[in-house]
Amino acid sequence: MEPVEIGDEELAEIGLILEMRRNFSMSVYKDKCMKRRISIRMRSCRCHDAAAYCNLLRQSEQEIDLLQKALTIHVSQFFRNPSMFEKLRSQVLPSLFVSSAMNGGKLRIWSLGCAGGEEAYSLAILLREHFAHQLQHTAVVIDATDIDLETIQAARAAEYNEDRLKDLPDRIRARYFRPNGSRMWLSQAIRDMVTFHQGNITALEKYLPHDLVLCRNTLIYFTRPDQEKILNGIADILPQGGILVLGKSETLVGEVRHKFSAICPVERIYRRVSDCA
Ligand SMILES: C[S@@+](CC[C@H](N)C(=O)[O-])C[C@H]1O[C@@H](n2cnc3c(N)ncnc32)[C@H](O)[C@@H]1O
């Protein structure tokens, strides 16, 4: 079946159905990206035109769920982009531990758009492996947030297909995972270090400050104004000296870039500077 063309009016109609039935706003995401994903769902349902697909959406709660899931893609991996984790280990975390010791001994880390928890759990493993001493003196909180409840539930269950573990050294895999049929279970000690929440990254106002925020491979799906809104929200919850990490194909856009200085542009690691810097 050929990819189905979706016009702006049809996109708006699908958006309205999602808004009314799931309170899910599609307007913050890029139209092109949404159309491509809807078209994939239409092919799976053998709908030849958008009108037929809208009819299906009106009748099927299950298809609304499947569409919402398809629109917020949940692909991730343990230690995705290993060189970024190495930079965190060697350059970022040591100084964050030093400043947290001077500020009451608490370090807050946040994985935004956390998908199945791979990124947040990778940070927990990194800390256990390389900062065991600091963990004895510092209360480390790792929060992880995603808009999709089912994804959050899967993250809490922490059971993964092999492909999610392909960047893991054998030693780490043997130490922190055990097989369960064809899947791999993450150890309880690592699971206990992360708290998952359902939340929307376009509305970060109500959250507490965090010292290290990772928002990788999520921003790219948003329109430019919404990217700016999200980045401003992150800047507001980062204290001066706090760290932001974006995905490899993402960057700071708009005025908010003046609130950051680059620590490692290649790995998209930035430090929050004071507003009047
Ligand atoms: C491609 S995954 C990125 C996973 C991980 N950060 C990584 O880099 O491997 C993008 C995640 O962002 C989530 N997401 C999309 N829109 C969101 C929103 N408005 N608020 C919170 N999470 C969102 C999706 O549900 C998805 O799990």
Tens digit of pLDDT for each residue in 156-177? 999 999 989 988 999 999 999 9
Q: Is-contact 263 92, C-beta < 8 A? A: yes
Q: What is the pLDDT of residue 3?
A: 67
| Closest ligand 1 atom number to CA of residue 77 | 9
CA distance 136 to 127: 11
Mean pLDDT of 239-266: 96
Tell me how far the alpha carbon of residue 121 lies from the centroid of ligand 1, in angstroms: 15
Tell me how far the alpha carbon of residue 220 lies from the centroid of ligand 1, in angstroms: 10
Is the CB of residue 200 below 6 angstroms from any atom belonging to ligand 1?
A: yes
If 0-12 CB within 10 Å is exposed, 13-18 middle and 19+ buried, where does residue 52 land?
middle
Tell me how far the alpha carbon of residue 219 lies from the centroid of ligand 1, in angstroms: 8
Of the CA atoms within 13 Å of residue 45, those in its CB half-sphere come to 24
Residue 270 predicted with pLDDT over 80: yes
pTM: 0.89
Is the CB of residue 216 below 6 angstroms from any atom belonging to ligand 1?
A: yes
Tell me how far the alpha carbon of residue 137 lies from the centroid of ligand 1, in angstroms: 32
Q: Tell the CATH topology of 8-71.
A: Chemotaxis Receptor Methyltransferase Cher; domain 1 (1.10.155)
Q: What is the pLDDT of residue 1?
A: 60
Nearest Cα residue to atom 11 of ligand 1: 113
Tell me how far the alpha carbon of residue 75 lies from the centroid of ligand 1, in angstroms: 8
Q: What is the pLDDT of residue 251?
A: 95
Q: What is the pLDDT of residue 177?
A: 97
Crossing angle of helices 8-22/50-59, nearest 10°?
10
Q: What is the pLDDT of residue 61?
A: 93
**For a pocket test of ligand 1, which of 146, 149, 215, 229 has the largest count of ligand atoms closer than 8 A to its C-beta?**
146
Is the CB of residue 68 below 6 angstroms from any atom belonging to ligand 1?
A: no
- Residue-wise pLDDT for 164-213, tens only, equals 998 899 999 999 999 999 999 999 999 999 999 999 999 988 889 999 99
Arch. (CATH architecture) of 82-272: 3-Layer(aba) Sandwich (3.40)
pLDDT band at 4 (very low <50, low <70, confident <90, very high): confident
Is the CB of residue 268 below 6 angstroms from any atom belonging to ligand 1?
A: no
Residue 276 predicted with pLDDT over 70: no
- Which is higher by pLDDT, 277 or 37? 37
Q: What is the pLDDT of residue 67?
A: 94
Nearest Cα residue to atom 9 of ligand 1: 76
Is the CB of residue 148 below 6 angstroms from any atom belonging to ligand 1?
A: yes
Q: What is the pLDDT of residue 201?
A: 93
Give residue limits of the domains in the chain: 8-71, 82-272
Residue 242 predicted with pLDDT over 90: yes
Mean pLDDT of 215-224: 93
Tell me how far the alpha carbon of residue 112 lies from the centroid of ligand 1, in angstroms: 7
- Which is higher by pLDDT, 71 or 90? 90
pLDDT band at 277 (very low <50, low <70, confident <90, very high): low
Q: What is the pLDDT of residue 174?
A: 96
Residue 70 predicted with pLDDT over 60: yes
Residue 255 predicted with pLDDT over 80: yes
Nearest Cα residue to atom 25 of ligand 1: 72
Is the CB of residue 202 below 6 angstroms from any atom belonging to ligand 1?
A: yes
pLDDT band at 2 (very low <50, low <70, confident <90, very high): low
Alpha carbon 196 to its chain centroid, in Å, reads 11
Q: Mean pLDDT score of the chain, rounded to an integer?
A: 93
- Which is higher by pLDDT, 46 or 126? 126
pLDDT band at 103 (very low <50, low <70, confident <90, very high): confident
**For a pocket test of ligand 1, which of 84, 147, 220, 222 has the largest count of ligand atoms closer than 8 A to its C-beta?**
147
